[in-house]
Amino acid sequence: IEPLTTKTKKETCERCGADFECKADDIKACHCSSITLTASEQKYIALKFSNCLCNNCLSSVKEEYEKMPAYYFENGLLVMTEKHHLERGFCCKNNCRHCPYKYKAK
Protein backbone atom coordinates (compact mmCIF):
# COMPACT_ATOMS: atom_id res chain seq x y z
CA ILE A 1 0.00 0.00 0.00
CA GLU A 2 1.34 3.38 -1.00
CA PRO A 3 1.37 6.12 1.65
CA LEU A 4 -1.11 8.95 1.20
CA THR A 5 0.49 12.00 -0.31
CA THR A 6 -0.75 15.52 -0.36
CA LYS A 7 -1.31 16.88 -3.83
CA THR A 8 -0.10 20.44 -4.06
CA LYS A 9 -1.57 22.74 -6.68
CA LYS A 10 -0.02 25.96 -7.81
CA GLU A 11 -2.59 28.75 -7.49
CA THR A 12 -2.67 32.43 -8.29
CA CYS A 13 -4.40 34.71 -5.82
CA GLU A 14 -7.49 36.19 -7.42
CA ARG A 15 -7.08 39.44 -5.48
CA CYS A 16 -3.39 40.31 -5.83
CA GLY A 17 -2.03 37.88 -8.43
CA ALA A 18 0.58 36.30 -6.13
CA ASP A 19 1.46 32.62 -6.67
CA PHE A 20 1.09 30.17 -3.80
CA GLU A 21 0.61 26.44 -3.15
CA CYS A 22 -2.87 25.11 -2.40
CA LYS A 23 -3.39 21.86 -0.50
CA ALA A 24 -7.18 21.71 -0.64
CA ASP A 25 -7.15 17.91 -0.42
CA ASP A 26 -5.39 18.22 2.98
CA ILE A 27 -6.90 21.44 4.29
CA LYS A 28 -5.10 21.19 7.66
CA ALA A 29 -1.78 21.40 5.81
CA CYS A 30 -2.90 24.24 3.55
CA HIS A 31 -1.62 27.76 4.17
CA CYS A 32 -5.16 29.13 4.54
CA SER A 33 -5.88 26.99 7.60
CA SER A 34 -3.66 29.30 9.66
CA ILE A 35 -6.29 32.06 9.36
CA THR A 36 -9.49 31.57 11.35
CA LEU A 37 -12.57 32.93 9.61
CA THR A 38 -16.09 33.21 11.02
CA ALA A 39 -18.98 31.84 8.97
CA SER A 40 -19.99 35.37 7.93
CA GLU A 41 -16.39 36.20 6.92
CA GLN A 42 -16.32 33.03 4.80
CA LYS A 43 -19.61 34.03 3.12
CA TYR A 44 -18.27 37.54 2.48
CA ILE A 45 -15.13 36.17 0.81
CA ALA A 46 -17.12 33.63 -1.22
CA LEU A 47 -19.41 36.40 -2.50
CA LYS A 48 -16.48 38.59 -3.55
CA PHE A 49 -14.08 35.97 -4.96
CA SER A 50 -14.54 32.71 -6.85
CA ASN A 51 -11.01 31.30 -6.38
CA CYS A 52 -8.45 30.92 -3.59
CA LEU A 53 -6.71 33.88 -1.98
CA CYS A 54 -3.18 34.03 -0.60
CA ASN A 55 -2.68 34.45 3.15
CA ASN A 56 -1.91 38.16 2.86
CA CYS A 57 -5.17 38.78 1.01
CA LEU A 58 -7.17 36.53 3.34
CA SER A 59 -5.86 38.55 6.28
CA SER A 60 -6.56 41.85 4.53
CA VAL A 61 -10.10 40.89 3.55
CA LYS A 62 -10.77 39.61 7.09
CA GLU A 63 -9.54 42.94 8.48
CA GLU A 64 -11.64 44.85 5.93
CA TYR A 65 -14.73 42.87 6.96
CA GLU A 66 -14.09 43.43 10.68
CA LYS A 67 -13.97 47.21 10.10
CA MET A 68 -17.24 47.31 8.14
CA PRO A 69 -20.18 48.78 10.05
CA ALA A 70 -23.27 46.59 10.50
CA TYR A 71 -25.57 49.58 10.02
CA TYR A 72 -25.69 53.34 9.53
CA PHE A 73 -28.30 56.09 9.76
CA GLU A 74 -29.63 57.88 6.69
CA ASN A 75 -32.32 60.58 6.97
CA GLY A 76 -33.12 59.36 10.48
CA LEU A 77 -33.60 55.77 9.33
CA LEU A 78 -31.51 52.76 10.29
CA VAL A 79 -29.94 51.12 7.20
CA MET A 80 -28.56 47.59 7.56
CA THR A 81 -25.34 46.89 5.66
CA GLU A 82 -24.08 43.80 3.85
CA LYS A 83 -22.26 42.82 7.06
CA HIS A 84 -25.50 42.81 9.06
CA HIS A 85 -27.19 40.58 6.50
CA LEU A 86 -24.27 38.14 6.36
CA GLU A 87 -24.17 37.89 10.15
CA ARG A 88 -27.93 37.27 10.26
CA GLY A 89 -27.23 34.38 7.90
CA PHE A 90 -30.21 34.47 5.54
CA CYS A 91 -32.17 36.70 3.18
CA CYS A 92 -35.36 38.22 4.60
CA LYS A 93 -36.70 38.84 1.06
CA ASN A 94 -37.53 42.49 1.85
CA ASN A 95 -35.47 43.76 -1.12
CA CYS A 96 -32.88 45.36 1.18
CA ARG A 97 -30.51 47.89 -0.39
CA HIS A 98 -27.35 46.06 0.76
CA CYS A 99 -28.58 42.46 0.40
CA PRO A 100 -25.56 40.22 -0.34
CA TYR A 101 -27.87 37.36 -1.32
CA LYS A 102 -28.87 39.11 -4.59
CA TYR A 103 -32.60 38.91 -3.87
CA LYS A 104 -34.71 40.89 -6.35
CA ALA A 105 -38.40 41.43 -5.64
CA LYS A 106 -40.70 40.63 -8.54
> What are the pLDDT digits (tens) for 4-20?
555 678 899 999 999 99
Task: Please check the confidence at residue 100 and state whether its pLDDT lies above 70.
Answer: yes
Structural element, H or E, at residue 60: helix 55-67
pTM above 0.85, yes or no: no
Planar angle of CA 94, 39, 37, nearest 5 degrees:
140
